[in-house]
Amino acid sequence: MAVRIDRELCNGCGKLDEPLCVRICPGDLLYKNTDGKAAIRDTRDCWDCAACIKECPKQAIEMYLPAQIGGRGSTLKARKSRDKIIWMLKRADGVEEIIEIEAHRIV
Amino acid sequence: MAVRIDRELCNGCGKLDEPLCVRICPGDLLYKNTDGKAAIRDTRDCWDCAACIKECPKQAIEMYLPAQIGGRGSTLKARKSRDKIIWMLKRADGVEEIIEIEAHRIV
Amino acid sequence: MLSTWEPEVVRIDADILIIGGGTAGCQAAITAKEKNGELKVVVIEKAHVERSGCLASGVNAINAYLNPGETPQSYVDYVKKDTAGLIRDDLTYTIGERLNNCTRRLEEWGLPFLKDENGNYVARGRRSVRINGERIKPILAEALRKSGALVLNRVVATNYIVKGRKVIGAFAFSVRENKFYVIRAKAVICATGGAAGLYKPNNDGSARHKMWYPPFNTGTGFAMGLRAGAEMTSFEMRFIALRIKDVLSPTGTIAQGVHAPQINARGEAYLRNYVDRSTYMRLYATLKENREGRGPCYLDITGLSEDYNRILKEAYLNMSPGIVLKWADEGVEPTEKPVEICGSEPYIVGGHGLAGYWIDSRRRTTLEGLYAAGDVAGGSPKKYVTGSMAEGEIAAEDAVEYIKNITFESIDESLIKEEIQRVYTPLIRSDGYKKLGFSPDEFEERLQKIMDEYAGGISSYYEVYEEKLNIAKDLLKELQKDVNKGYAEDLHDLMKYHEVIDRILVARAVVEHLLYRKETRWRCYQERIDYPYRDDEKWLKFVNSIYDSCKDEIKILERPYTNGENYLVTWLGSGMSGCKD
Amino acid sequence: MLSTWEPEVVRIDADILIIGGGTAGCQAAITAKEKNGELKVVVIEKAHVERSGCLASGVNAINAYLNPGETPQSYVDYVKKDTAGLIRDDLTYTIGERLNNCTRRLEEWGLPFLKDENGNYVARGRRSVRINGERIKPILAEALRKSGALVLNRVVATNYIVKGRKVIGAFAFSVRENKFYVIRAKAVICATGGAAGLYKPNNDGSARHKMWYPPFNTGTGFAMGLRAGAEMTSFEMRFIALRIKDVLSPTGTIAQGVHAPQINARGEAYLRNYVDRSTYMRLYATLKENREGRGPCYLDITGLSEDYNRILKEAYLNMSPGIVLKWADEGVEPTEKPVEICGSEPYIVGGHGLAGYWIDSRRRTTLEGLYAAGDVAGGSPKKYVTGSMAEGEIAAEDAVEYIKNITFESIDESLIKEEIQRVYTPLIRSDGYKKLGFSPDEFEERLQKIMDEYAGGISSYYEVYEEKLNIAKDLLKELQKDVNKGYAEDLHDLMKYHEVIDRILVARAVVEHLLYRKETRWRCYQERIDYPYRDDEKWLKFVNSIYDSCKDEIKILERPYTNGENYLVTWLGSGMSGCKD
Ligand SMILES: Cc1cc2c(cc1C)N(S(=O)(=O)O)[C@H]1C(=O)NC(=O)N=C1N2C[C@H](O)[C@H](O)[C@H](O)COP(=O)(O)OP(=O)(O)OC[C@H]1O[C@@H](n2cnc3c(N)ncnc32)[C@H](O)[C@@H]1O
Ligand SMILES: Cc1cc2c(cc1C)N(S(=O)(=O)O)[C@H]1C(=O)NC(=O)N=C1N2C[C@H](O)[C@H](O)[C@H](O)COP(=O)(O)OP(=O)(O)OC[C@H]1O[C@@H](n2cnc3c(N)ncnc32)[C@H](O)[C@@H]1O
Ligand SMILES: Nc1ncnc2c1ncn2[C@@H]1O[C@H](COP(=O)(O)O)[C@@H](O)[C@H]1O
Ligand SMILES: Nc1ncnc2c1ncn2[C@@H]1O[C@H](COP(=O)(O)O)[C@@H](O)[C@H]1O
Ligand SMILES: Nc1ncnc2c1ncn2[C@@H]1O[C@H](COP(=O)(O)O)[C@@H](O)[C@H]1O
Ligand code: SF4
Ligand code: SF4
Ligand code: SF4
Ligand code: SF4
Ligand code: NA
């Protein structure tokens, strides 16, 4: 269990045939639910690779650690631009941190 | 995962407020589903104590071993009478065995 | 917010309240009613007394019975020898005195005992007799019903009601109805059994509850006692059962029952290399064979005649059907191959081991008005079914006398409010704050991982040492805080939530005990690799603990071993009372 | 019955078919198209090439790059020394020749490399440079797209199409559509990566897939090769990663990146006690500290300046965000405390380790028309990203030449029918026979339990010996039969079903290899406690295997180690062809 989809924020990627998160997940874990929103088949199968959270244009997916390995509710979201990735880390105690990293040197 | 409820055989214990299997399970794992039949909350929580399979008057519940520990589909059912317990062991290869044991010396 | 879940408060007054309607609890209730039929005796049981606790599946022997030639003292001698010299002789002796009578009672109620030609019980070793014990729990439950005690099934105790150092009742909630119970009592007997699920079990995922000890015995009795300031003993002596691999069925049935030797992968009867063949050494030796390249190990039943196929299947169907299914899945008859054996997860259990409430010979705990009996009571290992019954009897007999001078105490309403809040808050969180929380299952995984890795679980061959134990200690304290972020979806889930809460506290006590005893007294059960030898000079004494709930600290104290003398159990803790102001 | 699930059969002819669009596969496709833009190059990928395989999350270093002063030969020397003297020099050398060029290509495509004042790459050790590699896979995928190769995403290869000992294409199915692919090819390059999930992983339950290696790399390439009769090497050299505990994030980032020492619980830099500090000895030493009472062990980053908090977070966000969340959950900055380390589950992977297809220096396997590159190719450890790319290049360059004289082969229709049957039967069973079956997850649990307990998983400190391995061998054979009772609910489930099928076969090969090598060459990776020493005289040679699918037997053969000389890879197996008649 490691990603959580905010059903308020997710719009099912509108008119796209295949939502972006569904398209990207290397484990084929995400699917479009009957309610038109993204859902995860089995949270136990998630690798925590963060591909989906980077891909979601609505920042509707957040990653967190399972309690088993010490997870306490800190979350990670991401927004990607053409050349950067902007990480949004939110600690369980509310402290937020933005980390921007170069990701693609456009040549 | 260790008990399986046959939804054809189960009649939800008819008019009983609380089905017999629901009443007996030491783990409170069984409940009456919206369809009126018994169901198990989470098969992973079953202790394999066999209380429910002894209790069911319809022999609708069978016990088996999870594949993880070598389960291959052999099943165990039981029928109790006032003084005896009759076990019905069915091997995955189809071989059946009935074992009757004294259970209560009525005095 | 609370209102959506606000339970109906049910108030009951009981002369004697028995928590846990298992082996000890049933016998306690029956005894109390026999002594004085006028008394209001109430039993609360989280499951249904018909099939709850250790006996849910049945048993196939009465493991504590004095066959001809045995005496209470010979029983004490045996138990002491098997426990590296450290037991409470007084407790064991007073159990020994009653074993055979408890056995006879079971027979009177209709439990089928196997008999020889002369009508005597069929011995299975010097202190054991064979039974067809599949129905043992319904039989006990019937006797309980007939006794006239009031039985509340599906009612889960959560805490004692405490006044100063006196227990005046208990709180409980129903998993069937939206009801919260406030039960006042003149005396309370705790008979909630031991604790499984503190450690990562042998199997995981779909088979995670395929364990020897009932996964539904979650140590709540210990936790309630700790929270109330009761003194506990010997939590460092974890009981680790030598069991049939995968299905975790008991081994005594064949080791003792048909004298099957323990052999290693080379066919050697490896116990021959050991002078000490006590219960824990049989386990230790098995692990050693495995570690040194001579495993796996087996109980060899291949020499037996074909008759034993049926005998063994019956014996296990009476107690632990898992192995019968395993034989079927392997397509073999029992005697066709040796059965592989392994060590279980560590349990905290006073019926096989030494851990539990610190009690006196009347089964009084260090809290006034509170008794303990059976797997939840410490100091007297190898009591099993009949020993647990014996303790239930002793406690009930004393309680019947004790309450003569006791009147009901008034309960501070704010205590009730607080406990309702504590108990039901996870459900409330599930309404509003679910997004941030974890389920009870997830916290249980965390607990078991911590204990497995840092406090000597299966994956470290049960070995412990200071540095790791200190980490366990810290992580458990953090986990205890984190659980407050948990939620429960329904009443069943709420029960699981409190089970985790309770297990964490028990685990914390286990870790403190393991940290304290700086020797290795019982290999595997308590194996401090930084203090690898038994040291009678310094450590032939009890390690006890009291939880200080104000400071949230477990304090360790020592109690001397005094050979056979009766103990005066005095209260040394501060308990819940101290932190109110 | 089949009809309900009868898939549409899609037929494709490819000059070069590449199975697996990961690091090696992308580079192979790009290279082939660069060499000859006219060729029809097809890539099939079970996930989506944009974020599949090892690189899905990103990486933060190019671990195989020759910094100034290093040469292909010094690279060979280092890898050989780190692998107890047994590698394929020819393979490692030919990788070494291309490492820096592959690195430059990544930079050209836009991967951000850190540079020093002089515009040189920032070295992270002698053969490693730092990158901001979060986007590495999308960058590779973009280059792939531009190459003009045809990419089929969500298409899972299940088997090669084999004629005699020649591979003439592959079968595959879509997890998005009800389509079965029959792809003919003049040459096939296998680039499916290694295998995780053969063993019980470090975490279970809700965290079971929190592992280092991708849980979605399931060893299908190995299994397809085995079923087709290809020769495999060194499966006994399991790669076990030293990783950050709980989150399993890589450690090189701090061990090599900021020179953090490995310390034990007492603060001692315990590697000082070892002359040999090779990769597996760093792991072995860590386990030893733990076993002997000096654990846990840590990478000590507390000495670093505060700047490193940001540096380390960035580095890990670029590759493995788990540890960043862990720091957040603990409420600490990275340099506030040492990070605890542990050994991972054993993986079979040719990119870090030695296991994989037996190939020649052109990356030809022992089957005609079949190449292997990257983590699926054996003999050349420590190739990492750039080494995998190099192998993709070498294979593609040779394939472009090879196919000049090759024409498409006709495919026997009955082969197609058989494979459709094999692939889709679990879905059919789900219609009718579900009652008797188990899900893929349940079989995976079984597999992992067997491997953990009998073939040297985490719970036995990775140690193996003959008796237990023989049990694993038997149980795996039985499991292989039992899986036939499994079912799949949908196409996703069907993929998982075949992943288990494939893992079981790979696991069987691992066990045979472990049984065969009667020495201990690589501690932990291959630690035979019944043969505890390295024995160069007898065992400085490769242990290889070929699966005989007719007899369902894995045959072991030996291949000599010949210092640096090119290998002629000849086919010694009988393969699938033999049992048709
Ligand atoms: C688990 C187990 C135990 C045994 C065996 C096999 C197995 C699989 N074998 S052999 O392997 O040794 O061979 C037996 C055997 O053949 N012969 C024998 O004499 N003893 C055996 N034991 C040992 C005895 O059974 C054991 O020592 C006694 O039964 C212990 O009696 P007691 O201490 O009463 O525990 P219990 O489990 O029976 O009852 C506890 C009850 O408390 C309830 N409970 C718990 N928490 C509660 C709460 N918060 N609120 C309300 N109720 C709450 C429980 O539901 C339960 O009903
Ligand atoms: C898992 C992992 C690996 C690394 C790292 C961190 C982590 C978390 N780190 S550090 O820790 O070392 O530091 C890296 C690092 O920083 N630097 C580095 O150089 N290498 C790292 N590796 C090693 C390299 O990444 C690795 O050696 C190469 O990427 C291997 O390349 P390749 O052999 O191509 O494997 P792949 O996983 O990229 O691709 C396999 C593809 O095949 C697909 N596939 C598999 N089966 C298929 C089937 N049946 N049908 C169709 N497709 C089918 C997969 O989906 C995948 O796309
Ligand atoms: N190897 C053995 N030798 C003698 N008694 C045993 C042996 N194993 C178990 N027992 C006894 O059998 C009873 C049940 O044990 P168990 O099944 O291990 O819980 C206990 O009284 C044990 O002391
Ligand atoms: N070329 C090499 N040959 C052998 N061992 C090496 C080589 N380079 C690095 N190492 C080992 O890797 C460790 C770290 O080296 P470095 O990566 O240079 O910081 C050293 O302790 C060496 O044992
Ligand atoms: N302690 C170490 N000393 C030197 N190099 C290391 C150390 N740990 C990891 N590395 C190197 O860092 C790279 C990535 O390693 P890893 O993160 O363990 O996969 C590899 O090239 C390793 O050889
Ligand atoms: S990518 Fe985001 S918005 Fe689109 S379906 Fe997935 S969660 Fe919803
Ligand atoms: S984090 Fe990775 S594995 Fe998990 S759901 Fe997202 S894309 Fe899939
Ligand atoms: S006892 Fe049997 S018939 Fe009654 S509800 Fe349960 S399964 Fe159905
Ligand atoms: S076997 Fe026992 S634990 Fe499992 S569902 Fe039936 S009664 Fe409950
Ligand atoms: Na271990």
- Return left, alpha or beta for A73; rule: phi > 0 is left, psi -120 to 50 is alpha, else beta: left
Tally Cβ neighbours within 10 Å of residue D63. 23
Residue D95 above 70 pLDDT?
A: yes
**Does D442 sit within 8 Å of B66, measured CB to CB?**
yes
Q: Which domain holds residue C313?
A: 242-343
Note whether residue D227 is domain-resident.
no
Does residue C24 have its Cβ closer than 6 Å to ligand 1?
yes
pLDDT of res. D374:
98
Range C299-325 average pLDDT: 97
pLDDT, tens digit, for every residue of C359-388? Answer: 999 999 999 999 999 999 999 999 999 999
3-state secondary structure of D80: helix
Distance between CA atoms of D16 and C470, rounded to whole angstroms?
A: 59
3-state secondary structure of C550: coil
Q: Which one of D216, D317, D330 has the shortest CB-CB distance to A99?
A: D317
Q: Which distant-in-sequence residues (6+ apart) come within 8 Å of D483 by Cβ?
A: D443, D497, D500, D501, D504
What the block records as the tokens of D277 is 């500090």
Measure D212 CA to ligand 7 centroid, in angstroms: 14
Range D93-121 average pLDDT: 96
Distance between CA atoms of C179 and C175, rounded to whole angstroms?
A: 8
- CB within 6 Å of ligand 3 — which residues? C 63, 125, 128, 241, 250-252, 255-256, 279, 282
Confidence of residue D577 (pLDDT cuts 50, 70, 90): very low
Question: Considering only CA atoms, which of D44, D370, D374, D21 is closest in space to residue D193?
Answer: D374
What the block records as the tokens of D49 is 């090439």
pLDDT, tens digit, for every residue of C258-289? Answer: 999 999 999 999 999 999 999 999 999 999 99
pLDDT of res. C575:
46
Distance between CA atoms of D362 and D102, rounded to whole angstroms?
A: 17
Pocket test for ligand 9, best of B21, B24, B43, B46 (most atoms within 8 A of CB): B46
| Residues of chain C numbered 530-549 and touching chain D (CB < 8 Å) | 530
Residue C480 above 50 pLDDT?
A: yes
**Does C206 sit within 8 Å of B92, measured CB to CB?**
no
- Type of residue at C123: A
Phi, psi for residue B78 in degrees, rounded to 5 = -150, 150
Contact C139, C203 (CB under 8 A): no
Range C284-309 average pLDDT: 97
Confidence of residue C573 (pLDDT cuts 50, 70, 90): low
- Return left, alpha or beta for C476; rule: phi > 0 is left, psi -120 to 50 is alpha, else beta: alpha
User: pTM to 2 decimals?
Assistant: 0.96
- Token match 């959270």: residue? A53
pLDDT, tens digit, for every residue of D294-307? Answer: 999 999 999 999 99
What the block records as the tokens of C409 is 């105490």
Distance between CA atoms of C450 and C431, rounded to whole angstroms?
A: 29
pLDDT of res. D6:
86
For the four alpha carbons of D432, D434, D436 and D440, in that order, the dihedral sign comes to positive
Confidence of residue D428 (pLDDT cuts 50, 70, 90): confident
Size of chain D in residues: 581
Range D67-88 average pLDDT: 98
* Beta-sheet strand order (sheet of D553-560): D356-357, D231-233, D541-548, D553-560
- In this structure, the strands spanning D179-190 and D8-19 are parallel
Residue C301 above 70 pLDDT?
A: yes
Exposed, middle or buried, C173 (CB in 10 Å: 0-12/13-18/19+)?
buried
Range C191-206 average pLDDT: 98
- In this structure, the strands spanning D41-45 and C527-528 are unpaired
- The angle at the Cα of D501, spanning D497 to D504, to the nearest 5 degrees, equals 135
Distance between CA atoms of D564 and C490, rounded to whole angstroms?
A: 67
Tally Cβ neighbours within 10 Å of residue D85. 13
The DSSP H or E segment spanning D129 is strand D129-133
Give the whole-number percent of chain B exceeding pLDDT 90.
93
Distance between CA atoms of C232 and C534, rounded to whole angstroms?
A: 22
Distance between CA atoms of D377 and D186, rounded to whole angstroms?
A: 20
pLDDT, tens digit, for every residue of A33-46? Answer: 999 999 999 999 99
Distance between CA atoms of C414 and C326, rounded to whole angstroms?
A: 53
Tally Cβ neighbours within 10 Å of residue D434. 12
Count the domains in chain C.
1
Contact C464, C456 (CB under 8 A): yes
- The angle at the Cα of C421, spanning C417 to C423, to the nearest 5 degrees, equals 115
Note whether residue C429 is domain-resident.
no
Residue B1 above 50 pLDDT?
A: no
pLDDT of res. D380:
98
Give the whole-number percent of chain C exceeding pLDDT 70.
95
Does residue A5 have its Cβ closer than 6 Å to ligand 7?
no
Range C289-305 average pLDDT: 97
Give chain B positions within 8 Å (CB) of C328.
74, 76, 89-92
**Does D442 sit within 8 Å of B67, measured CB to CB?**
yes
Size of chain B in residues: 107
Catalytic residue flag (residue C282): yes
Contact A63, A50 (CB under 8 A): yes
- Token match 């998005």: residue? D176
pLDDT of res. C563:
67
Q: Which distant-in-sequence residues (6+ apart) come within 8 Å of C401 by Cβ?
A: none
pLDDT of res. D484:
87
pLDDT of res. D581:
44
Distance between CA atoms of C514 and C516, rounded to whole angstroms?
A: 5
Contact C171, C423 (CB under 8 A): yes
- Token match 């059946």: residue? B96
Q: Which one of B24, B68, B89 has the shortest CB-CB distance to C324?
A: B89
Q: Which distant-in-sequence residues (6+ apart) come within 8 Å of D455 by Cβ?
A: D199, D464, D468, D469, D472, D507, D510, D511, D514
Give the environment of ion ligand 10: residues with CB less than 5 A: C 459; D 459
For the four alpha carbons of D323, D328, D330 and D333, in that order, the dihedral sign comes to positive
pLDDT of res. C4:
57
Note whether residue D283 is domain-resident.
yes
pLDDT, tens digit, for every residue of C2-53? Answer: 445 689 999 999 999 999 999 999 999 999 999 999 999 999 999 999 999 9
> What are the beta bridge partners of residue D13?
D184
CATH architecture classification, A2-102: 2-Layer Sandwich (3.30)
Contact B48, C246 (CB under 8 A): no
- The angle at the Cα of D299, spanning D297 to D304, to the nearest 5 degrees, equals 145
Confidence of residue C292 (pLDDT cuts 50, 70, 90): very high
Residue C576 above 90 pLDDT?
A: no
Distance between CA atoms of C161 and C417, rounded to whole angstroms?
A: 12
**Which ipTM did the prediction report?**
0.95
Shortest distance between the Cα of C424 and any Cα of chain A, in A, equals 21
**Does A49 sit within 8 Å of D51, measured CB to CB?**
yes
Distance between CA atoms of D80 and D83, rounded to whole angstroms?
A: 5
> What are the beta bridge partners of residue C163?
C166
Measure D93 CA to ligand 10 centroid, in angstroms: 38
pLDDT, tens digit, for every residue of C449-459? Answer: 999 999 999 99
Range D214-229 average pLDDT: 98
Contact D126, D415 (CB under 8 A): no
pLDDT of res. D576:
45
Distance between CA atoms of D285 and D282, rounded to whole angstroms?
A: 5
Query: Which domain CATH number covers D324?
Result: 3.90.700.10
pLDDT, tens digit, for every residue of B9-30? Answer: 999 999 999 999 999 999 999 9
Contact C209, C50 (CB under 8 A): no
Tally Cβ neighbours within 10 Å of residue C133. 24
Q: Name the DSSP class of B95.
A: -
What are chain D's partners, defined as 3 or more CB pairs within 8 angstroms? A, B, C
Confidence of residue C581 (pLDDT cuts 50, 70, 90): very low
Question: Considering only CA atoms, which of C54, C16, C55, C50 is closest in space to residue C33?
Answer: C16
- Type of residue at C575: G
Give the whole-number percent of chain D exceeding pLDDT 90.
92
Distance between CA atoms of C310 and C258, rounded to whole angstroms?
A: 13
Distance between CA atoms of D465 and B9, rounded to whole angstroms?
A: 49
> What are the beta bridge partners of residue D557?
D544
- Segments in chain A below pLDDT 50: 1
Confidence of residue C484 (pLDDT cuts 50, 70, 90): confident
Range D221-250 average pLDDT: 98
Alpha helices, DSSP H, located in C403-457: 413-432, 440-454
Phi, psi for residue D171 in degrees, rounded to 5 = -100, 150
End-to-end CA distance of chain C: 28
Averaged pLDDT of chain C? 95
Does residue B93 belong to the interface with chain D, where contact is any CB pair within 8 Å? no
pLDDT, tens digit, for every residue of D252-261? Answer: 999 999 999 9
What are chain A's partners, defined as 3 or more CB pairs within 8 angstroms? C, D
Question: Considering only CA atoms, which of A75, A66, A78 is closest in space to residue A95?
Answer: A75
Distance between CA atoms of D446 and D486, rounded to whole angstroms?
A: 12
Distance between CA atoms of C524 and C291, rounded to whole angstroms?
A: 13
Question: Considering only CA atoms, which of D493, D574, D497 is closest in space to residue D175?
Answer: D493
Exposed, middle or buried, C533 (CB in 10 Å: 0-12/13-18/19+)?
exposed
Distance between CA atoms of D201 and D506, rounded to whole angstroms?
A: 16
Residue D575 above 60 pLDDT?
A: no
Question: Could you tell me the residue ranges of all domains in chain B?
Answer: 2-102
- Return left, alpha or beta for D82; rule: phi > 0 is left, psi -120 to 50 is alpha, else beta: alpha
Distance between CA atoms of C140 and C149, rounded to whole angstroms?
A: 13
Q: Which one of the listed residues D98, D130, D165, D282 is annotated catalytic?
A: D282
Q: Which distant-in-sequence residues (6+ apart) come within 8 Å of D133 by Cβ?
A: D55, D58, D59, D60, D61, D62, D111, D318, D319
